[in-house]
Chain A
Amino acid sequence: MQQNRIYSKVALDMFSVQLIWSLWFIGFVLLAQIVMVIISINTGNNIGDFILFSHGSTKIYMLVIGIISSYGFLTFYVNHGITRKDYFIGTAIAALGIAIALAVIATVITALEYGLIEWFNIPVSVDKTVTENVINSSDNSITIMLPKAIVSSSILVHSSSWIVSLLMYILNTLTYYVIGWFIGVGYYKYGWVIGFGFIASSLVFLITGDLLWGTELGEPLSNWFAFQSVNLPLWGSFVGSIILIALILVLIRALTREISIKM
């Protein structure tokens, strides 16, 4: 019984701290999106809607806070008399919570975006089906690769498919969080030399994660592969993502089970 209370405390605390960071982050992305809309009004280019636009940066953001979750919190919690197990369960729940919160916020902003554009008749074409899965800035200096599912399915007016976008957003960002957490734990436990090995294995996870969603592989390393993308049915992508996340979580737990705490 007491066990229950402790990890839910950890989860709630981790969630609140990271939610505050996330609101700041979303604020900045929203600002960037507004700038893009303004540019687009002037140049007539298509832009991706918010859920599409924020997807790439949110993944990187989740990777970063995942890394912080080991360095920032493991010592802190054990020093407060929390077991490694409660830290692990609490952090994992909080990560899922953050992924859900970000996805919901992004979806709500996107809905508002469509609503506002229609309401004020803003002369901009926000697109859910940007061609070739790529968002380009007007001078091609920024290119964002987009996974196919989100591109072909983020039509918010059709409820069945915005739920798909939402779920995919959650799974994708959560994958990045646990990969960040995995890297952070590797560095925490083994120092920077072996830590590089964790970055290397994380690349494998990242590529696997992207492949699951049918993204064209952008990383130069993936030229080694005989294939550029795999085609999975949608449910296969979901199940694959969940298995990948579970696998990384199992590895993190194995690494932290008896980890020595840095002082």
Chain B
Amino acid sequence: MTFAIDIRNLSLNYNDFTALKDMSFHLEGGKIYGLLGRNGAGKTSLLSLLSSFRKPSDGIIKIAGEAPFENANIMANVAFIYEKDYSDETEKVKGMLESAERYRPNYDAEYADYLINIFKLPLEKPVNKLSKGMQSALNVTLGLACRTPVTIFDEAYLGMDAPTREIFYKELLADQERHPRTIILSTHLVSEMDYLFDEVLIIDKGNLILHEEYETLASKGASITGSANTVDDFVSIMTQLSEQQLGGTKSVMVFGYLTEENRREAKQKGLDVGPISLQDLFIHLTREED
């Protein structure tokens, strides 16, 4: 069972500040979505609406065809994992798992135990005594083991070190394979997570500026690599996002669709045409205008 998400003309205002403006999109069930945006772009605002933490100021949210706010059937099936302040949480890891088990209909205790093991979390330790990284690992353990049809991770992996994050990504993909659900990952760590995404949403200043399949997105631009002069010459008429040079070899990220002719020409000149990185695209699209 997967849940689709439908957003129509969604707005959220805090007093006189507009956090989200007239946003509309549709997320098919069973895919992994990357939600990208700069600090304060409105990522958490959007996610807190999806998880019924707030009520929208305007517009409609439908999850599995129903309005989620105060809807017990939907809310029980939406998990919102974010970096919580655990400084006052004296409950033990075990107790946290038990309450999740009590309230989440699809919770899988065996899978939770497995995750606790690979993250090396101590069951008997109070949560406020765990390191930041372990607290994050506990959060993602809960998020994965709840197996909720809609699972939202809002920067939930910030405290984890790189090897632990790697374990999380691996487990996420493996469990998604076994139990497909709608997963939203909001992140700053674009370059290391991009391969997880089926689709990407970029929001900026409360607006949705891009919603695209990851594969299509990769063809929205290209990286051109070759000898410095040839590259400069070739990209001179294109929108350049970033460049890197090592000795006589240069690599430039360009934005815009490359035609077959472009590609042939590049080949003739001995240039390498590779996919653009999501990171560069993200930075370009959300750049502040001077």
A interface list, Cβ under 8 A from B = 2-3, 6, 9, 13, 76-86, 257-258, 260-261, 263
Chain B contact residue count (CB 8 A cutoff):
25
Does B53 lie within 8 Å of A78, measured CB to CB?
Answer: yes
| Interface residues of chain A: helix, strand, loop or mixed (majority) | helix
**Residue contact B80 to A79, C-beta cutoff 8 Å:** yes
Contact in complex: B72, A3 (CB < 8 Å): yes
Is there an interface contact between B70 and A260, defined as CB atoms closer than 8 Å? no
Look across to chain A and name the residue whose beta carbon is closest to the beta carbon of B84.
A263
In-complex Cβ contact of B75 among A83, A257, A258, A263 (8 A): A83
B-chain residues with CB within 8 Å of residue A257 when the two chains form the complex: 70
Contact check, A84 vs B78: say whether CB atoms are below 8 A apart.
no
- Known: A3-B72, A263-B84; 4 extra A-B contacts, CB below 8 A, are A80-B99, A81-B79, A82-B76, A260-B48
Please give, as numbers and ranges, the residues of chain A lying within 8 Å of B104 by CB-CB distance. 80-81
Asked if B218 lies at the interface with its beta carbon under 8 angstroms from chain A, I say no
> Contact: B73 with A2, CB < 8 Å?
yes
Q: Chain B residues near A76 (CB, 8 Å)?
A: 99
With A and B bound together, what is the CA distance between A260 and B156 in angstroms?
21
B52 at the interface (CB under 8 A from A): yes
Question: Does B282 sit at the interface, judged by CB under 8 A?
Answer: no
> Are B102 and A78 in contact, CB atoms less than 8 angstroms apart?
no
Contact of A260 among B54, B79, B84, B99 (CB under 8 A): B54
In the assembled complex, B103 has its CB within 8 A of some CB on chain A: yes
Complex CA gap A83/B102 in Å reads 15
Contacts of A83 in B (CB 8 A): 70-72, 75
**Are A82 and B103 also in contact (CB < 8 A) when A261-B48, A263-B84 are?**
yes
A81-B82 in contact (CB<8A): no
> What residues on A are CB-neighbors of B78 within 8 Å?
81
Determine whether B100 belongs to the interface, using a CB cutoff of 8 Å to chain A: yes
Q: In the complex, what's the smallest C-beta–C-beta distance from B77 to chain A, in angstroms?
A: 7
B72 touches A86 (CB 8 A): yes
Q: In the complex, are the beta carbons of B84 and A81 less than 8 A apart? A: no
B84 / chain A contacts, CB cutoff of 8 Å: 263
Q: Of A82, A258, A263, which contacts B48 at CB under 8 A?
A: A263
Give the distance to chain B from A128, nearest Cβ to Cβ, in Å.
40
- Closest A-chain residue to B74, C-beta based? A81
Contact of B54 among A13, A85, A261 (CB under 8 A): A261
CB distance from A69 to the nearest CB of B (A): 15
Contact B52 A78 (CB under 8 A): yes
Query: 7 A-B pairs, CB-CB below 8 angstroms?
Result: A80-B104, A81-B78, A81-B79, A81-B104, A260-B53, A260-B54, A261-B53
Q: How far is the CA of A6 from the CA of B75 in the complex (A)?
A: 12
Cα–Cα, bound, A86→B55 (Å): 17
